[in-house]
Amino acid sequence: MARSAPGLPPQYYAAAGSGHRSSSSPAASCVVAVLFLLLAAGGAAAALFVLFRPRAPAIAVTAVQLPAFAVANGTVAFTFQQLTSVRNPNRSPLAHYDSSLHVAYAGGEVGSMYIPAGQIDGGRTQYMATSFTVPAFAVSVSAAAAQPTTISVPASGPSPHVMAALVQGPVMEVDSLLRVKGKVTVLKVFTHHVEAAKVCRIGVSPADGRVLGFRC
């Protein structure tokens, strides 16, 4: 007479029935793959941003002149000329537009001009020569008088007791503001606006319009 198999607990049959199933589902694998792709895309975007990060142009003023200068009844009028170098530090070309040069005296603007639009290739420097007429404007009494004064200072050399005469006259100070605006297209897809400005203070002789010096 055949004997029946001993009785087994229900948990055994449940474990045996599920032994052929995979431990990970397809949905979990898809989530992991998507996360990996997002991380890779983010890293690539960060690397491209560091490599092609848009930067503002570098401005340097190299020369300032007032070739025409006139004084009359406490006012001055002159022609303002400024030579400036603008360097594009980006790999992509810089298309500049709506750029301008302003001249001010005693905190008020006395003249300005717009700079024609153009393009500066990546890593290149472009020189901008600007010239425009500043109409007559009133200046301070001390500057309009333009009476030089003489001071004495010890002369250098083997005879320090010898005095040298230096002529020091009044100085009229004007300010120039060059503003360069433009855009840089990164990877021919993303467009970024850039802007730079350079302010210079210029010392001018109110007697004849000579530029005594400038600092930016």
Each residue's pLDDT tens digit, 184-203:
988 677 889 999 999 999 99
Whether residues 93 and 195 share a domain: the answer is yes
Residue 112: inside a domain: yes
Whether residues 122 and 31 share a domain: the answer is no
Residue 84: inside a domain: yes
Whether residues 123 and 47 share a domain: the answer is no
Q: Which range, of 100-109, 121-130, 140-149, averages the lowest pLDDT?
A: 140-149
Whether residues 63 and 49 share a domain: the answer is no
Total domains present in the chain = 2
Banded model confidence at residue 46, pLDDT cuts 50, 70, 90 = low
CA 187 to chain centre: 21
Residue 55: pLDDT above 80? Answer: yes
Whether residues 61 and 92 share a domain: the answer is yes
Residue 178: pLDDT above 60? Answer: yes
Q: Which residues form the domain of 61?
A: 57-145+169-215
Distance CA 176, CA 159 (A): 43
Q: Which range, of 73-87, 128-142, 154-168, averages the lowest pLDDT?
A: 154-168
Whether residues 83 and 180 share a domain: the answer is yes
Per-residue model confidence (pLDDT) at position 141: 57
Main-chain dihedrals φ then ψ at residue 13, nearest 5 degrees: -65, -35
Whether residues 38 and 136 share a domain: the answer is no
Q: What is the CATH number of the domain that holds 126?
A: 2.60.40.10
pTM over 0.85: no
